[in-house]
Amino acid sequence: MVAYKWTVLSNTTLGALMASINISILLISLPVILDGLGISFLNPQGFPILIWLLLGYGVVTATLLVNAGRISDMVGRARMYNLGFVVFTVGSILLFLAPNTGTLGGWELVSFRLVQAVGAAFLFANSSALLTDAFPSNERGKALGINQVAFIGGSVLGLVVGGLLAGVPPVHVLGVTIPSWRFIFLVNVPVGLFGTVWAYLKLRDISPTRRGQRVDLWGNVTFALGLTLLLVGLTYGLLPYGGQTMGWSSPWVGTGIGLGIVLLGLFLVVETRVKEPMFRLHLFGTRAFAVGSLAAFLGSVARGGIMFMLIIWFQGIWLPLHGYAFSETPLWAGIYMLPMMAGFFVMGPLSGILSDRHGARHLATAGMLIGSLSFFLMLLLPYNFAYWEMGGLLFLMGCGMGMFASPNAAAVMNSVPPAERGAASGMLATLQNTGQQLSLVFFFTIVITGLSSGLSHSVGSALAGLGVGSPDLGILTSLASSQPTTSLFGAFLGQNPVGLLLTVAGSLPGWVPLNPAVTAALTSRSFFPQAIAPAFLSGIRDSFLFAGSLTALAGVVSFFRGERYVYGEGSRSPQEDRAQALPPVPPTPLGTGDPVPTGTGISPGSPSEGPTPPP
């Protein structure tokens, strides 16, 4: 068993590294991918593809996580984890081999990336459960800390790898030209194949499976449809609609969000009445699980969109202002984000080890408060900051994330019965992934709103500074201020939309051709970043204020988790722990069978708890 626990840690760490690299590698290399496909985000057919490439992976993963964990409890966590490796690798191969370009090729990439997301759901849902099974309670924080470091490290490493691959020239093999963007998806394939074989040969289930249970059909249907409609509705709210900068007034968006909320409410009702629910609501009766899950959700909502916004800041504004060509900004944006990974690398394993001895309460709370402080300090940065200021705050933020992540994950997983660790891991991962999706929507909305209010003034001032006069000044200012989403994604993709604005303006009545020198200045490397930077700074400061406040709230919530608690160990019983927490949800089974006693920690049909697996 001693050797086996390290096998589990190394294999799940490899899976976390692969899945997290896949998330961020796309963020930094999207300009190359869209250019290789011949798709422009300025095109009405191209913008939905961009949105789905960015957010579709998270939507599918968040929807499937709970069910993946639930199925894994029934048929075996190691088996389902290995299935995740297989599906993820197949999705990566399909992305590399996508046969078409243009709009059709773009939607092929979206579809194959969703296949990847299915595999990632089984990896994420089982990783923490396998580690909790394999490691004794006094080592779980350390194990989960190392695993979390791999995940966060992979997220930042993916930015660097994506930037490197984005600069690779096309490769010619046997008369066939392979464009560079395809290698961005190929990088996962060798890792996935190795991980698949390794997991198949070495991983095994050491906790009892819960065979013979029935699948919660109505719970699955209401949860999957509800969460999908909610997240898709929120995603499409970011798209322009009816001449407006965003789509919140669209009846389809409102209907999707409304139906999603209704179905999720119905899902909660169903879960309190079925005999074998997929979402183990009774686990929230344990304080350590309830508080840890809520703090993780709030932290994900607060921080899930921060990396995206910082990439926009670096790639679209700061790097061009410091002399970097737009073609070079993906790689350097990833490099300049490395201090965040360094902070997490330092504090993740250390805080996990300390939490094994002293519990998660003070470490996790301090981590959230440090993260909140880093957001509030970012409010003081100018848009053309000195890098040591930003680098120091990124390191501080990484330290805060590391102090929270592994102690919190260990505390949550320690609090649940062994037979329900798959479901618990899936529930925690679902809350975190849903929080990240909501965070992206909130950050986008806040920043685009800030751009909308300030873009007219900042662009008008920049144009006037170059000597652009009436009527051209009014035409260009009106065009730019009416399309804040275009400006935001232009900054994110490192592209200069001024050329398109000049083309559109030239077709409008009253336009007077500009002096060639002025045109050259408008399309230069520095004009677009300088023109949008003041308005962008206003919006991102609002988002930092939102994130800092919500992170502080997560810290307060984390403080009320209580002392260290491990299910089945120590002087306190699960019933005594639950007595200090929220009242458990009393199940009222549909059909035959006796109601399950509340507060037992054992769901219907679960086997009696055996001893904790030895180290």
What does the pLDDT average to over 43-59?
79
Reported as a pLDDT band with limits 50, 70 and 90, residue 210 is: low
What does the pLDDT average to over 54-83?
82
Q: Comparing 483 with 374, which gets the higher pLDDT?
A: 374
* Residues sharing a CB contact under 8 Å with residue 306, sequence separation 6 or more, in sequence order: 375, 397, 439, 443, 547
Q: What is the pLDDT of residue 45?
A: 76
Q: Enter the tokens of residue 452.
A: 């909308």
* Contact status, residue 228 vs residue 58, Cβ threshold 8 Å: no
Phi–psi pair at 149, nearest 5 degrees? -60, -40
The CA-based angle 150-154-157, given to 5 degrees, is: 135
What does the pLDDT average to over 227-237?
81
Q: What is the pLDDT of residue 615?
A: 35
Phi–psi pair at 244, nearest 5 degrees? -100, 160
Q: What is the pLDDT of residue 376?
A: 96
Q: What is the pLDDT of residue 602?
A: 33
Q: What is the pLDDT of residue 211?
A: 62
Q: Enter the tokens of residue 375.
A: 């957001």
pLDDT tens digit string along 74-89?
788 888 889 998 999 9
Question: What does pTM read for this prediction?
Answer: 0.79
Q: Which of 118-132, 314-328, 601-615 has the lowest mean pLDDT?
A: 601-615
Mean per-residue pLDDT of the chain: 81
Q: What is the pLDDT of residue 570?
A: 58
Nearest to 98 by CA among 120, 88, 113: 113
Q: What is the pLDDT of residue 268?
A: 87
* Contact status, residue 239 vs residue 247, Cβ threshold 8 Å: yes
What does the pLDDT average to over 400-421?
86
Q: What is the pLDDT of residue 188?
A: 84
Q: Comparing 493 with 194, which gets the higher pLDDT?
A: 194
pLDDT tens digit string along 300-339?
999 888 888 888 888 888 988 888 877 777 778 888 988 9
Q: Which of 89-98, 257-266, 519-528 has the lowest mean pLDDT?
A: 519-528
What does the pLDDT average to over 265-289?
84
Q: What is the pLDDT of residue 134?
A: 85
Decide if pLDDT at 543 tops 80: yes
Q: What is the pLDDT of residue 612?
A: 34
Helix axes 387-414, 338-358, angle to 10 degrees: 30
If 0-12 CB within 10 Å is exposed, 13-18 middle and 19+ buried, where does residue 503 land? Answer: exposed
Reported as a pLDDT band with limits 50, 70 and 90, residue 242 is: confident
Reported as a pLDDT band with limits 50, 70 and 90, residue 594 is: very low
Percentage, residues of the chain above pLDDT 70:
88
Helix axes 140-166, 329-336, angle to 10 degrees: 160
Decide if pLDDT at 585 tops 80: no
Reported as a pLDDT band with limits 50, 70 and 90, residue 95 is: very high
Decide if pLDDT at 276 tops 80: no
Do you know the residue count of the chain? 615
Q: What is the pLDDT of residue 494?
A: 62
Q: Comparing 132 with 545, which gets the higher pLDDT?
A: 545
User: Would you say the C-alpha torsion 410, 415, 417, 420 has a positive or negative sign?
Assistant: negative
